[in-house]
Chains A and B, each alone.
Chain A
Amino acid sequence: MHMADALVSPVVGGTMWLAACGLIGHSVRRIEASAKDHLVPLMGVLGAFVFTAQMINFTIPGTGSSGHLGGGLLLAALLGPHAALLVIASVLTVQALFFADGGLLALGCNIVNLGFFPACVAYPWVYRVIARGRYGPMRGSVAALAASVLGLQLGALSVVVQTQASGIAELPFGPFAALMLPIHLAIGVVEGCVTAAVVAFVARARPEVLPAADAGPARSLRPVVAALLIAAVLTGGLLSGWASSHPDGLEWAIARVSGAEEAPAAPGTWHARLSAAQERTAVMPDYAFRQAPRDARTDGSDGASAEPATAKPADSSALPLGTSVAGVVGGAVTLLVISCLGFVFGKRPRAV
Chain B
Amino acid sequence: MAFRMAVERWLDVARMDGLARQDTPVHRIDARAQAVTTLLFIGVVMSFARDELSALTPFFIYPVAVMSAGRIPAASLLRKLAVAMPFAVAVGLLNPVFDTRPALAVGALNVSSGWLSFLSIVMRCLLTVSAALLLVACTGMPRLCEGLVRLGVPRVFAVQLLFLYRYLFLLADEGRRMTHGIALRSPGARGVRFRVYVSLVGHLLLRAMARAERIYHAMQARGFDGNMRPQFASPMRLADPLFVGGWALFFAVARVWNLAEALGVLLMKGVG
Contact = CB atoms under 8 A, between A and B. Distances in A.
A31 interface: yes
In this complex, which of A32, A41, A54, A163 has the most chain B Cβ atoms within 10 angstroms of its Cβ? A41
Interface in B111-161: 114, 117, 120-122, 124-125, 128-129, 131-133, 135-136, 141, 144, 154, 156-157, 159-161
A40 B163 contact: yes
Contact of A169 (B81, B121, B189): B121
Interface string B202-214: 1011101101110
B162 interface: yes
Contacts of A45: 163-164, 167, 171, 208-209, 211-212, 215
A24 B157 CA distance: 8
B91 A59 contact: no
Nearest to A169: B91
Given A44-B163, A99-B80, A57 B192 contact: yes
A56 interface: yes
A59 B157 contact: no
Contacts of A24: 154, 157
A86 interface: yes
Contacts of B269: none
Nearest to A197: B198
Interface stretch (B25-33, B39-47, B231-239): B39-47
B125 A5 contact: yes
Given A103-B128, A169-B95, A43 B191 contact: no
B65 interface: no
Nearest to A209: B209
B196 interface: yes
Given A4-B87, A49-B171, A97 B206 contact: no
A10 B196 CA distance: 45
A179 B117 CA distance: 22
Interface in B1-27: 1-3, 6-7, 9-10, 12-13, 16
Contacts of A56: 175, 178-179, 182, 191-192, 197, 200-201, 204
- B contact residues, range: 35 or more
A97 B132 contact: yes
Contact of B129 (A40, A44, A100): A100
Given A55-B3, A169-B121, A171-B91, A86 B136 contact: no
Contact of A5 (B97, B128, B226): B128
Interface stretch (B98-106, B240-248, B260-268): B98-106
A58 B194 contact: yes
Interface in A298-347: 346
B215 A349 contact: no
B226 A37 contact: yes
B174 to A, nearest CB: 6
B208 A49 contact: yes
Given A24-B157, A44-B163, A209-B209, A253 B192 contact: no
A97 B157 contact: no
Contact of A40 (B47, B141, B156): B156
B114 A170 contact: yes
A338 to B, nearest CB: 14
Given A40-B159, A56-B175, A350-B1, A48 B205 contact: no
A105 B128 contact: yes
A171 B174 CA distance: 42
Chain A contact residues, majority secondary structure: helix
A165 interface: no
B235 to A, nearest CB: 26
A13 interface: yes
A61 B194 contact: yes
Nearest to A351: B188
A38 B213 contact: yes
A139 interface: no
Given A4-B87, A168-B120, A253-B99, 19 more contacts: A6-B125, A6-B129, A7-B88, A7-B121, A40-B156, A42-B212, A45-B164, A47-B163, A55-B10, A58-B191, A58-B196, A66-B2, A66-B191, A90-B164, A97-B144, A169-B94, A169-B121, A171-B98, A197-B194
Interface of A: 2, 4-10, 13-14, 24-25, 28, 31-32, 37-38, 40-49, 51-61, 66-69, 86-87, 89-91, 93-94, 96-101, 103-105, 163, 167-172, 193-194, 197-198, 201-202, 205-206, 209, 250, 253, 257, 346, 349-350, 352
Interface of B: 1-3, 6-7, 9-10, 12-13, 16, 38-39, 42-43, 46-47, 50, 80-81, 83-84, 87-88, 91-92, 94-95, 97-101, 114, 117, 120-122, 124-125, 128-129, 131-133, 135-136, 141, 144, 154, 156-157, 159-168, 170-172, 174-176, 178-179, 182, 188-194, 196-202, 204-206, 208-209, 211-213, 215-216, 219-220, 226
26 contacts: A6-B92, A6-B125, A24-B154, A38-B216, A41-B160, A42-B216, A44-B163, A45-B164, A46-B208, A48-B171, A55-B3, A55-B178, A56-B191, A59-B189, A89-B157, A96-B132, A97-B135, A100-B84, A100-B133, A104-B42, A105-B43, A168-B121, A170-B97, A198-B198, A198-B202, A350-B1
Closest 7 interchain pairs by CB? Answer: A44-B163, A100-B84, A201-B202, A57-B191, A58-B197, A52-B175, A6-B125
